[in-house]
Structure 1
Amino acid sequence: MKNYGKNKNFIFNILILIFLSAVVFSIIFKNENKRALMLLLFSAKKIYIFFGVLCALIFIVGDAINTKRLLYMFNYKFTFLRTLKYAFVGFFFSGITPSATGGQPMQIYEMKKDGVEISRSTLALFVSMLSNQLTSFFLGVLCLTWYLSQNLYVSKGILSLVIVGLIINICVIAFILLCIFNPKISLSFAKFLGFIINKLPFLQEGRKQTLKLSLQIQIEEYNIFSKYIVKNKLTLFKTFLTTCIQMVSMFGVSYLVYLSLGQDKYSVMDIISMQCLIYIASSYMPLPGSVGVNETGFLLLFADIYPKNLINGALLLTRGINFYLLLIISFLALILYKLFSAGKSPINISKT
């Protein structure tokens, strides 16, 4: 992450996230007994917290597996550790930018540095995004159906956000399919991606112009390689299956936190359904990490699940594991990667 820390936009994004998080949690914990809260956190059963962290990490690992699989489809034979870097890049920059807009462009940038043509990295990420959207849509419908069938309380506001989220899911799925298979739409997206690249922090102007020019040149190659998608149905199915495991694992963090606090009245499906609905309702909000919306959704949906004296602690543990801890781990992993790779020559990759 060369010169990242020196870039004003990079620092600004992190400061905004810290500021919003501080405001949200200061409001939530305003009347909380801080000593009692700390005792609650330390009394949580560590074995469940440990498995909760593992579940969160499975999300990152799954993203790396999908990226490795999709790049291999274009004959880029990367190691798992290298695609794990892309997964950390995606999570970190999605977490610090509004509506997660910074993740994919930064992944494309990192892949380009490793010798991956922009046309192919973009197509691979489109397929990954399509898998994410399809999975979140189907899980969202399933969890909403389950949630309502159990007569669990859901506010009209949250229900409205969930429905809007599902509608946006459908629109994004349609858009991605058009981008993959319609040359005119993909050209328009290339222009949009060029705009995003132009706004990216920590990239010098000359580097931005080079990337945009390369993007324009390779859009025709992108349309040619989009035909690979139809020919690799098994790869698509494996990607979708991996994404399902990723999301269920991430939503499962909530259930493990629930168990860690000594609760067992509600089933794993009940808790996972609630967390899924929170994700659907908040994922499109134009705030870094959906800060504020995610926490509010948690407090509203889990109000009848946790006793009043536990819910704030449950929120802190859940959000701490499935977002803030992963954000910190991603940042540290990228720092370590840059330190160990400093001075090394560019990698050689197998590509035909």
Structure 2
Amino acid sequence: MENKKKMIFNVLFLFLVFGATLYGVFHGEDLSEIAEILKTVNLYWLLPGVVCVIIFIWGESIIIFYMMHTLGIHLKKWKCFLFSSVGFFFSCITPSATGGQPAQIYYMKKEKIPIPVSTLVLMIVTITYKMVLVVIGLGLMIFGRGFIRTHMYDIRHIFYLGTGLNVFCVASMLLLVFHPVLARSILVKGMELLEKMHLMRHKSTRIEKLNASMDQYHTTAVYLKDHMMVLVNVFAITLFQRFALFTATWFVYKAFGLSGTNAFVIILLQSVISVSVDMLPLPGGMGISEKLFSMIFEPVFGSALLIPGMILSRGLGYYTELLISAIFTIVANFTIGRNLRKKA
């Protein structure tokens, strides 16, 4: 019952944010003019953009397949693609992408994959996923000050906030993995403080859940110490995966027949948006992503093509991803665990 209520809330919240985003983007705009501009787009340039989205989803499935193989669990690649699709679909529709991994663990459990194993794999996926954003954010802050002044000066504070939140997230996860005793002590004291301030009710079961979580983090630490090259390989695949999605915006740029801005600048600007919004509690960064796009891409697309460019870029980078992952989530619902059900 509680899960159903949570799902209903997430769906309602998604539609609320979607409606507010549509209003914010199209309020005061000439919709017929936008429609006419979109008709002039070269669709052949958008097809590689769709391929980029598929590569993005496929990239995580390769990581899952690879890591499961190192743990002695042999899965078919198409099942790993379904697990990946499930994760992206639920991440797209839940605030801060919190629903993706629990859904993946649920579907992996249907394939008789032990929860500690699926948790370990998905934890490393999350760490490397965030680590790519940290590398981009810190790299720009240290080596790209000229780029920040030239292309994104007006949004620098949001970018710094997003980078800081991602650094904090990755640092916290690494602390939990490599120093679980210290992390447990910090969390216990934090919960005690919140209980004293009457911001949290005292529950003995909370400590039990914490201890169970610490066991999972300890397992992750042991695995990483013995398989550091696995982490390096997963990071490399994640880097390729994420930049594949960022590249979709460059194909949108070419679809309008534009030139003058090189691919590197466009891809990096799109990555800046991802760094800035990734940790914000909005499904798929809706609303804030469109706002940041309009602020930093106007010199690239021009005022006339800015809104159509935003529609196609977000259409590929978020809504196409949502649609493709939704289709394969439906497939997963009918196929994952089917053979096991037949045997039962």
TM alignment of 1:55-66, pairs within 5 A: 55-66=52-63
Alpha-carbon distance between aligned partners in 2 of 1:347 and 1:286, rounded to the nearest angstrom: 40
Between the two proteins, the alignment pairs up a number of residues equal to 324
2:314 aligned with 1:319, yes or no? yes
| C-alpha contact 1:131 1:240 (8 A) present in aligned 2 | yes
Contact 2:107/2:336 (8 A) holds in 1: no
CA contact (8 A) 2:252 2:309 kept: yes
- Specify the alignment match of 2:195 in structure 1: none
Listed as ranges, the gaps of 5+ residues in structure 1 are 192-211
Q: Equivalents in 2 of 1:11, 1:41: separation in Å?
A: 34
Where do residues 1-352 of structure 1 align in structure 2 (5 Å cutoff)? 7-143=4-140, 145-146=143-144, 148-149=146-147, 152-156=150-154, 158-184=155-181, 220=215, 223-224=218-219, 226-340=221-335, 344-346=339-341
Is contact 1:143-1:273 (8 Å) kept? no
Per-residue Cα deviation, 1:182-231 (whole angstroms, up to 9, x for no partner):
3336768999xxxxxxxxxxxxxxxxxxxx99996686476246322122
CA distance in 2, matches of 1:111, 1:190: 29
Specify whether residues 163 and 315 from structure 1 end up closer, same or farther in structure 2 by C-alpha distance, changes over 3 A only.
same
Query: 1-side partners of 2:21 and 2:146: how far apart?
Result: 29
For 2:131 and 2:115, locate their aligned partners in 1 and report how far apart those are by CA, in whole Å: 24
Over the residues paired in the alignment, what is the CA RMSD in angstroms?
Answer: 2.9
Question: Judging changes above 3 Å, is the alpha-carbon distance between structure 1 residues 337 and 112 closer, same or farther for their aligned structure 2 residues?
Answer: closer
Q: Which has the higher helix share?
A: 2
Counterpart contact for 1:55–1:250, Cα < 8 Å: yes
In structure 2, the gaps of 5 or more residues are 189-206
Q: 1:271 offset after TM fit, Å?
A: 0.6
Instruction: Note if contact 2:43-2:255 (Cα within 8 Å) is conserved in structure 1.
Output: yes
Q: In the superposition, relative to structure 1, how do residues 142 and 43 fare at CA in structure 2: closer, same or farther (>3 Å)?
A: farther
Contact 1:179–1:186, Cα closer than 8 Å, also in 2: yes
The one-character-per-residue Cα deviations of 1:86-140 (angstroms, maximum 9, x if unpaired) are 1111111111111111112222222222222222222211211121122111123
Identify if the C-alpha distance between structure 1 residues 43 and 116 changes in structure 2 by more than 3 Å, giving closer, same or farther: same
TM value normalised by structure 2:
0.85
The residue type paired with residue 50 of structure 1 is L
Asked if structure 1 preserves the Cα contact closer than 8 Å seen for 2:180 and 2:218, the reply is yes
Deviation of 1:15 after TM superposition, in Å, equals: 3.0
Tell me, what secondary structure is at the counterpart of 1:226? helix
